[in-house]
Amino acid sequence: MPTLPKTINGTMKFVDRAKIFVKSGKGGKGCISFLREKFREFGGPDGGNGGDGGSVFCQGDLGMNTLYDVRLNPHIAAGNGLQGSGKNKTGKNGEDVVIHLPPGTVISDFQTGEILTEVVDSEPILLLKGGRGGKGNKHFHSAKRKTPYISQPGEEGVEKVLFLELKVIADIGLVGFPNAGKSTLIKSITNAEPKIADYPFTTLTPNMGVFVLDYKKYVLADIPGIIEGASQGVGLGLDFLRHIERTKVLAFLLDGSILEWPAILKSYETLEKELSLYEKDLSLKKKMVLLTKTDILGNPDHIPQFLNYFQAKKIPALAISCVSGHNLERLKIMLADLLM
């Protein structure tokens, strides 16, 4: 069963939407044939059936986190079945094709918008079934029809245009304004290597990383593009807010280098507002709040103000520094506890 390529030169650009054209294989034609052997004058019909057309499957691949491959290879077709032949020989079935996709890919019909399936694991999912092979003339032999000169053509394959949308599946989604330290945090506690710089919108695509605690893996996703007005499409907002739907826990990152506590608090309230405006159910997710950059605090009083405020709200809170490593191990434990 052939598969589509999973990597291109070892690296892939993040792509979370793609349109593909898929076609299952046509069934092979049934054969018209009569047995012709010495000493068997009336051998009868022996035309075999055509082979079935190949089907199109999709399958989750944990090693993938982008739809880049399928966007580069949007035309996908399974093999056609071969025609049957004499001596009741059935034609060879067409080869199936498997489309490898990252878990979290939602597949819908491009014309109707109907959701067909969602890829969640490595279990193959049938997208388009191949056409059935046609019957050979042996199938039409009867007492009244001893020499049937008829057979069936193979069924046509199915063609569809599909829309793929990847919604990141992660245990923890990191939420914060540009430069709150999301990329730095994900680099500090996971194996990810995100781009980091001192200017807004460093992250233009979700970064993902994994940390291990007590032999268990936890997946973090850095969700970019949230600014005031994101829920109305300002900035990168709507393109990436939808990824937050698939996370189990939200970790809000607040920039501790800001000088005034009211400004820090307002950033949290704005983030909460944008998430609830986009999807009110997001407010029901488990959450914690992190005060970042404690190595360059805007004011030493920020930490007690921060902890007291969120303790009163019964929201887990922690002050961290990715530069010094302060509280990063404790952060892992707290995140794991929230996921229990």
Nearest to 101 by CA among 129, 130, 69: 69
pLDDT number for residue 230 = 39
**pTM of the complete model beyond 0.75:** no
Q: Which residue has 């944008």 as its token pair?
A: 274
The token pair that represents 153 in the structure block: 């053509």
CA gap 278, 223 in Å, rounded: 14
The strand order across the sheet containing 97-101 reads 97-101, 56-60, 125-128
CA gap 117, 130 in Å, rounded: 18
pLDDT number for residue 16 = 81
CA gap 89, 182 in Å, rounded: 63
pLDDT number for residue 3 = 46
pLDDT number for residue 306 = 94
Alpha carbon of 206 to those of 49, 169, 297: distances in Å? 51, 11, 27
Helices (H), the chain: 68-72, 182-189, 237-241, 261-278, 302-312, 328-338
pLDDT number for residue 276 = 80
Tell me 68's DSSP state.
H
Cβ(51)–Cβ(103) below 8 Å: no
Determine the CATH number of domain 170-338.
3.40.50.300
SS3 category, 105:
strand
Estimate to the nearest angstrom the gap between the alpha carbon of 21 and the chain centroid. 18
pLDDT tens for residues 167-223? 777 789 888 887 788 888 988 998 656 554 444 444 445 677 888 998 888 888 887
Residue ranges per structural domain of the chain: 1-166, 170-338
Determine the CATH number of domain 1-166.
2.70.210.12
Residue ranges in the chain modelled with pLDDT below 70? 1-14, 39-42, 191-206, 224-243, 280
Burial of 92 (0-12, 13-18, 19+ CB in 10 A): middle
SS3 category, 210:
strand
The token pair that represents 172 in the structure block: 């923890």
The token pair that represents 308 in the structure block: 């007291």
Side-chain-side CA neighbours of residue 229 (13 Å):
4
pLDDT number for residue 132 = 97
